[in-house]
Structure 1
Amino acid sequence: MRFQRYGTMAAVMLMIMTTVLAGCGSGQESKLAEGKTNVVTSFYPLYFLAQQIGGEQANVINLIPAGVEPHDWSPKSQDLDTTSNAQLFLYNGAGFEGWTDDFLQGLRKDSKLVTREASDGIKLIEGDSEDGHDHGHEEEANHEEEESGHHDPHTWVSPKSMKIMAANVLDSLSFVDPDHKADYEANYKQLETKLNALDDEYTAKLGAAPKKDIVVSHHAFSYLARDYGLNQVSIMGLSPDAEPKAQDLLNISKFVKENGVKYIFFEELVSDELARTLAREADAETLVLNPLEGLTPDQEKNGDDYFSLMTANLQNLLQALQ
């Protein structure tokens, strides 16, 4: 029986996993606008924050188009031209955008662009642990420390971290456009109220959940696990297309059975084959847990945003943790 299960897992590993993550449809065709603060963002969560806080005073352009996986995206010369003429460039940092150093070195010499790292001030979590587990008290590293280590960059998936990122965006907009600081602060206050409410709801409901183990396809929820007392076990690594070893899958299957895990989480636009195979082997079901790296075209059309997707995530988490 063990040999048969190993064979099944090994066969799945040989499959070519199609990764079609969405970056963000909003703004990829935007042009620079006169009379407004032009803000270029690296991916959806920052686009959302810049739009919410910038309001009518900001013109926000998101670099990564829909249908592109943010971990692997690289900018074109047109992106460099657009960014060189903008006033502010917001990127996540913490190792998420591997292209930023070369990109910023390629800016026009006369560019007055201000660049800001939105994850600044967040206590970063070290990369994948060897056993694939995050125990809610993951080893932390201050952002100011030397960045030679490998960090998990998925800060925005936790509302607590998103609040720090929002404050950074406010400071950045106020710095490049002090004349409209009061407008930005007013917009930020409204956003902060919503983020605080979301944080409170996550804290209360996940704190009361009888179970704490979540098994996920993509190791993207370390900050969520740390901030709300969960234990993350991931099938794949920090990159959504990293492939696990057969033995890792056997270990996770054993963990699922021994700990009464009822659901395996997967992402909507990444191949769910591994998650579904693991669920079948472990007699579990599957649910979506969205890492919010971007909106799908349908989500954009439906008016979904960070809050609606995080609310859906919480509902699925609560269903899985009963």
Structure 2
Amino acid sequence: MNVRRRLISGSAALVATALGLGVLSACSGSASADGKGGGRLDVVASFYPLQYLAEEIGGSHVSVTNLTQPGQEPHDLEISARQTAQLQEADAVLYLKNLQPAVDDAVAQSEVGTKIDAASLTTLEKHGNEVGGHAAEHDHSAGEEAGGADPHVWLDPVRFGEVAEGVAKGLKKADPQHAGDYARNMAALRKKFDALDKDFRDGLAHTDTKTFITTHAAFGYLAERYGLTEEAINGLDPESEPSAKRVRGLETLAKADGVTTVFYETLVSDRTARTIARDAGLRADVLDPIEGITGKSKGDDYMEVMRSNLKALQTALGAR
């Protein structure tokens, strides 16, 4: 994942604390459950999927700030003094431990009353690639920091639904006055996840091939859930360069398994994917890991982009 760890120095922490109240007053929409800003719960989310959960479950009772800006690669996020101040003054923080080490550092140093770690709300697994029976050569540096676990749980609607349940419990604890509304919003969101899961199951039940090639190994949970096989050009690092051996292996696999498409994503360069696709006579298309919503996203929110991903997979796999 090409993660760069930025340690927050003691001086930065002091500056952040000193700036905290001023920064928050300048941020539109920021509020707190103690009565400031209309009584809304001030929630900080580390990146888009968790922002989506906070807004869907929290509804009108929360004000959500996303630390990762649209178009920014979340794995490379570095925490500024301003963002540290936002964390210090927030009522709750949602993050996924080991996905963004700089966020982990900031959360550990903060005094936020409610810290919700999405990684603790479901089961993380290891995902790897094999081509022709041999392990693919790729960089697992970020995966090793997470104990070898794949963090991309939000791309499996069932696991992400489990995370959502945990987020709902956390919001209820942080703001018991509106627990009933959080429960009702969670019930509505659960139906959306159930419908999305059914669409994927039905839509991918009968296909010409079960194998797809992606830029990096973000779709292991999705593949496992729906009986598919993901082969990644790179490993968990979306920006590493594949070896010549790996490229040859993928080209051989594509011919043997009837692969038609090499998928790339919106937040990193598509150069490698398009080169491999061209050399192997394959198509290139987008399969979005939904780490952020931008003007290039094929949808306005998580559910819409997931259904765009489903359509892309159906086309690539020859769904019937």
TM-score normalised by length of structure 2: 0.81
Larger deviation, residues 287-296 vs 240-249: 240-249
Q: Which residues in structure 2 correspond to 1:218-257 (within 5 Å)?
A: 218-257=216-255
**2-side partners of 1:236 and 1:157: how far apart?**
18
User: What is the CA distance between 1:92 and its match in structure 2?
Assistant: 1.8
Is there any run of 5+ residues in structure 1 with no aligned partner, and where?
1-28, 134-146
> Is the Cα contact below 8 Å between 1:125 and 1:222 reproduced in 2?
no
The higher-RCO structure (CA 8 Å, 6+ apart) is 1
Q: Which residues in structure 2 correspond to 1:1-322 (within 5 Å)?
A: 30-33=28-31, 34=36, 35-93=39-97, 95-107=98-110, 111-129=111-129, 131=131, 149-297=147-295, 299=297, 304-322=300-318
> Is the Cα contact below 8 Å between 1:128 and 1:152 reproduced in 2?
no
Is there any run of 5+ residues in structure 2 with no aligned partner, and where?
1-26, 134-144
**1-side partners of 2:131 and 2:309: how far apart?**
25
**Runs of 4+ more than 3 Å apart:** 127-133
User: What is the CA distance between 1:297 and its match in structure 2?
Assistant: 3.7
Return closer, same or farther for 1:193/1:216 CA change in 2, 3 Å cut-off: same
Q: Which residue of 2 aligns with 1:5?
A: none
Give the SS at the match of 2:78.
coil
User: What is the CA distance between 1:127 and its match in structure 2?
Assistant: 4.7
User: What is the CA distance between 1:188 and its match in structure 2?
Assistant: 1.0
Return closer, same or farther for 1:44/1:208 CA change in 2, 3 Å cut-off: same
Residue type matched to 2:101 in 1? G
User: What is the CA distance between 1:132 and its match in structure 2?
Assistant: 10
User: What is the CA distance between 1:130 and its match in structure 2?
Assistant: 5.8
> Is the Cα contact below 8 Å between 2:299 and 2:305 reproduced in 1?
no
**1-side partners of 2:277 and 2:183: how far apart?**
46
**1-side partners of 2:309 and 2:90: how far apart?**
34
> Is the Cα contact below 8 Å between 1:132 and 1:234 reproduced in 2?
no
Give the SS at the match of 1:186.
helix
Return closer, same or farther for 1:81/1:151 CA change in 2, 3 Å cut-off: same
**2-side partners of 1:132 and 1:307: how far apart?**
35
Identity of aligned pairs, percent? 37
> Is the Cα contact below 8 Å between 1:85 and 1:113 reproduced in 2?
no
TM-score normalised by length of structure 1: 0.81
Return closer, same or farther for 1:182/1:132 CA change in 2, 3 Å cut-off: farther
User: What is the CA distance between 1:31 and its match in structure 2?
Assistant: 4.8
Cα RMSD over matched residues?
1.9
> Is the Cα contact below 8 Å between 1:49 and 1:166 reproduced in 2?
yes
> Is the Cα contact below 8 Å between 1:289 and 1:313 reproduced in 2?
yes
> Is the Cα contact below 8 Å between 2:71 and 2:267 reproduced in 1?
no
